[in-house]
Structure 1
Amino acid sequence: MNLGKRPSSKFASSNNNIYLDLKDVIREHALHFLPAKSLFRFTGVCRDWKFMISTPFFAHNQSYSFRTISGFFSQVSHGEPTFVSLNPMAYGVPDPSLKFLPEPVDIRSSCNGLLCCQGRTEYKAYYICNPTTKHWQKLPKPDNDHGSNPAVVLVFDPSLLNFAAEYQLICAFPSEMEGYEFEIYSSSKGSWRTSGEILFGNRVIRPNSGVYVNGTVYWLTQYDKILAFDLKMERSQLMNGHGTLGVKDGKLCTTSLHGLKVSVHVLSNAYTNTMQMHSHTKAWKTHEVALDPSVFTDPYYDRDAVLFTGNDVVVFRGRDLLYVYDMKTKETKHLGHASNNNERRAPNYNERLISYVSSLVDI
C-alpha cells in the first residue's frame, strides 16, 4: 500500500514545481503588459511582486509594453479636468483634477502616458506630467508667443533602449511673415528652439486638432486642409482632408460621422501631389461602419461630432449622450463617468476629450 502512494507524491511535487515556474513566468513576462491601476492592486499579492513593480526598470518596461487607451480626461474651458474610464475596474488615476500641479491648468495634449498641461497664471507655463504617478516637470518659457490657445502636440515614443523618458513638445505658432513657424522643446536638451521651416500662406490652424503619427505631427486647418510637419526633416506640407484627426493601424486617419455611419479615412500615400499626372493612386483608403440603431439613438449631424480615434476606438457625441465604438468588436456603448458606473451623461459641446494611457512612465 505504501508503494502505491509514492507515484502520487512525486506527481504532487512535480505539479508544485510547475506552479512555481508559472508564477515566475507571470511575474517576469506578463505583469508589465497590464495597466497601472491593476499593478497597484497586485503589489498586495506578495513582497516580491511589490518590490518588482516599484522598481524603475519595471516602470520603464511597462511604459514601453502597455499602449492601450485607458480613458479620457474631460475638460470644459477653464474648468477642472475629470477622468472618464473605459474600464473602471482596470483604469483610473488617483487625482483626475490634477491638483498635484502647482496651479490650475488646461490640458493641451497627451502621448503614451504623459500629459501636456498649461498653467493659467503669469506666462502660462507648460507642465509635462504623469497623472498616475503625480510626477511633473515645468518647462522653461518659450522664445516665441504661442498665443492664448496654442497648437501644441506632445511627442513621446517609449523605447526599450532608452531608459530616460525623452519627449518633445511641438508648437505651430503664427509667424510675422504671414504663415506659421514651429518651435520645439526637447527634454534631452532642456530647451526650446525655433525651426527654420516656415509655412507661408493665409491658413488658420485649429489649435486642439493636433496628433502625432510615426515621426510626423499633423494639424487641421481651415478649408479642409491638413498641415503635416516632419520632425526628422523639419519640413511642412499641406494635404487635403477633413474630419477629426486620429490614428489607425499606425497611420494617420480622419473620422467623420454621418447619421448612423462612421467613415474612417486612412492615409495610404501622403505624396500623391508629387506623382505623375493621371495617376490612379489614392491618398486615402475609406472604411465605413454602420452603427447599431438600437444603441445610437440620437444622431448629431455636425462635422465635429467625432472627438477621438485611436487604438481601434472611436468616441463621438450624439445630441444627448457620448458614445464609444470599438472597431474590433463592432460594439457601440454609452460613455460614462467611472465614478458613476458608466451612468449616462449628457455631452457638453465645449468639452474636450484628451486620451490617456495608464502608464508608470517616470519623468
Structure 2
Amino acid sequence: MDRGKRPSKSIVGGNNKIYMDLKDIIREYTLPFLPAKSLFRFTGVCRDWKMQISTPFFAHNQSNSFHAVSGLFYQIAGEPPSFISLDPKAYGVPDPSLTFLPVPVDIRASCNGLLCCQARTGDKAYYMCNPATKMWKKLPKPDADHGTDPALVVIFEPSLLNFVADYKLVCAFPSTDFDDGYEFEIYSSAEGCWRISREICLGDRKLLPSPGVHVNGIVYWQMKHGVLVAFDLARERSQLIYGMKGALCVMQGKLCSVSMHGWTVTVNVLSNVYSNTMEMHSKARTWVQKRLINLDPSALGAGSCKQPSVVFADSDTVVIHDGNTIFSYDMKTKETSALGSAVGTRLIAYVNNLVHV
C-alpha cells in the first residue's frame, strides 16, 4: 500500500515545480513586453510581481522591449492635452492632461515613451516627461529663438547597454541672418546643453505645423507643396527633397509618406533622394509606391463632407481623421475601429512604456 502512494507524491511534487518554473518564466520574460498600464494593474497580482515591476532595472528592460505605439496625445489650442488610446484596456496614462507638470504646457513631440512639452507662459521652457510614470525634467533654455510653434523632433533609441535614457532634441527654426532660411539647434541629454549647428538650409517655403520624424540618423520636416527638409545628424548637412504627399511615417525602418484619396490609402517609400540630379529619362524615382490599402467606407462612417486624411501610420497601424472622428486601421487584421473625437487638433504618437526621464 505504501509503495502505491509514493509515485503520486512524486508526481505532485513535480507538478508544483513545473508550475513555479512557469510563473517565474512569465515574470521574467513576459512582463517586460507588456505596456505600462497593464503592468500597473498587474502589481496587484502578488508581492513578487509588484516588487519586480517597481525596480529601475525592470523599467529599463521594459522600455527596451516594448515599442508599440499605444495611442496619440492631442490638444486643442489653449486647452489641456488629451489622450486617445488604440486599446483602452491595455494602453493608457494616469493623467492625460499632464497636470503633474508645474505649468500648463503644449505638447510638441514624442519618441519611444518620452514626451516633449513646452510651457505656455513665462520663459516657455521645454519639459521632457513620461506620462505613464509622471516623471519629468525641465530643460535648459535654448540659445536661439525657436518661434511660437517650434519644429521639434525627439530622438530616443533605447539600448540595453545604456541604463540612462540618453536622448536628443532637434529643432529647425527660421534664420535671423538669411531670409527663407532655416537653422538647426540640437539638445543632448548626455551633455545637458543646446548647440546651434553651422548648417543653414535655404528655401522659399515654410515648415508645416506637423511633427517631424527621425529615420537612421536623419531628421525630416514637412514644408509646403510636398517638400521635405532633411537634416543629417552625423554630417550636419541638410537638403530639400521633393514630391512628398500626405503624412510622414516610418515603416520597417524606412521613411514613407502616406496619403489618402477617396477611401484608398497609398504608402510611398523614399527611394532615391538624388533622382532630381539623374540624367533625363532616367527611371529613378524619389518616391516609389509600396502599398495600397482599400478601406471600407461603412467602417469609417462615411458621414463627413470632407476628405478623410491620414494623421499617423507605422508598420502596424494607420490612424485616420475623418471629420470629427479618429479611426484606426490594423494592418494585420484589416479591421477599422473608431477611437474617439478630436476637432482641429495636432496628434502626437506615444509609446506606453516605463522609461526613466
Task: Indicate whether the TM-score tops 0.5.
Answer: yes
The two structures have a TM-score, normalised by structure 2, of 0.94
Unmatched runs of 5 consecutive residues or more in structure 2: none
Contact 2:306 2:323 in 1 (8 A): no
Deviations 1:38-78 (A, max 9, x none): 11122122222211211111111111110011111121111
User: Which residue matches 2:229?
Assistant: 227
Pair 1:203–1:248, CA change in 2 (3 A): same
User: Which residue matches 2:27?
Assistant: 27
Pair 1:320–1:54, CA change in 2 (3 A): closer
User: Which residue matches 1:195?
Assistant: 197
* Separation (CA, whole Å) in 1 of partners of 2:324 and 2:94: 29
User: Which residue matches 1:307?
Assistant: 311
Amino acid at match of 2:249: G
User: Which residue matches 1:334?
Assistant: 338
Q: Secondary structure at the match of 2:58?
A: helix
* Separation (CA, whole Å) in 1 of partners of 2:274 and 2:48: 53
> How does 1:90-109 map onto structure 2 within 5 Å?
90-109=90-109
Pair 1:275–1:11, CA change in 2 (3 A): farther
* Separation (CA, whole Å) in 1 of partners of 2:19 and 2:89: 27
Most deviating of 192-201 and 309-318: 309-318
Structure 1 residue 321, shift from structure 2 partner: 2.3
User: Which residue matches 2:356?
Assistant: 362
Pair 1:11–1:246, CA change in 2 (3 A): same
Match 1:250 to one of 247, 250, 253: 253
Contact 1:125 1:139 in 2 (8 A): yes
Structure 1 residue 331, shift from structure 2 partner: 1.1
Structure 1 residue 201, shift from structure 2 partner: 2.1
Contact 2:307 2:322 in 1 (8 A): no
* Separation (CA, whole Å) in 2 of partners of 1:72 and 1:95: 14
> How does 1:133-282 map onto structure 2 within 5 Å?
133-175=133-175, 176-178=177-179, 179-240=181-242, 241-273=244-276, 275=278, 278-282=281-285
The two structures have a TM-score, normalised by structure 1, of 0.92
Aligned residues: 353
* Separation (CA, whole Å) in 1 of partners of 2:21 and 2:273: 49
Pair 1:283–1:310, CA change in 2 (3 A): same
Deviations 1:186-213 (A, max 9, x none): 1111100001111112221113231122
Structure 1 residue 4, shift from structure 2 partner: 2.8
Most deviating of 133-142 and 45-54: 45-54
Structure 1 residue 327, shift from structure 2 partner: 1.3
Pair 1:299–1:189, CA change in 2 (3 A): farther
Structure 1 residue 285, shift from structure 2 partner: 3.0
User: Which residue matches 1:322?
Assistant: 326
* Separation (CA, whole Å) in 1 of partners of 2:307 and 2:274: 26
Match 1:285 to one of 270, 274, 288: 288
* Separation (CA, whole Å) in 2 of partners of 1:165 and 1:301: 45
Contact 2:257 2:268 in 1 (8 A): yes
Identity %: 59
Contact 1:257 1:301 in 2 (8 A): no
* Separation (CA, whole Å) in 2 of partners of 1:149 and 1:304: 25
User: Which residue matches 1:67?
Assistant: 67
Q: Secondary structure at the match of 1:294?
A: helix
Pair 1:290–1:123, CA change in 2 (3 A): same
Structure 1 residue 243, shift from structure 2 partner: 0.9
* Separation (CA, whole Å) in 2 of partners of 1:362 and 1:103: 20
Pair 1:140–1:303, CA change in 2 (3 A): farther
Q: CA RMSD in A?
A: 1.8
Structure 1 residue 277, shift from structure 2 partner: 5.2
Amino acid at match of 2:345: E
Amino acid at match of 2:236: E
Q: Secondary structure at the match of 2:238?
A: strand
Contact 1:243 1:303 in 2 (8 A): no
Most deviating of 264-273 and 29-38: 264-273
User: Which residue matches 1:339?
Assistant: none
Contact 1:246 1:254 in 2 (8 A): yes
Q: Secondary structure at the match of 1:164?
A: coil
* Separation (CA, whole Å) in 2 of partners of 1:302 and 1:235: 39
Deviations 1:89-146 (A, max 9, x none): 1111111100111111000000000100010112211111001111111111111111
Q: Secondary structure at the match of 1:308?
A: strand
Most deviating of 192-201 and 277-286: 277-286
Structure 1 residue 274, shift from structure 2 partner: 5.2
Structure 1 residue 278, shift from structure 2 partner: 4.2
Deviations 1:247-297 (A, max 9, x none): 111111111111111111122333434555544233333211100132123
Amino acid at match of 1:26: I
User: Which residue matches 1:81?
Assistant: 81
Match 2:347 to one of 323, 328, 353: 353
Pair 1:263–1:5, CA change in 2 (3 A): same
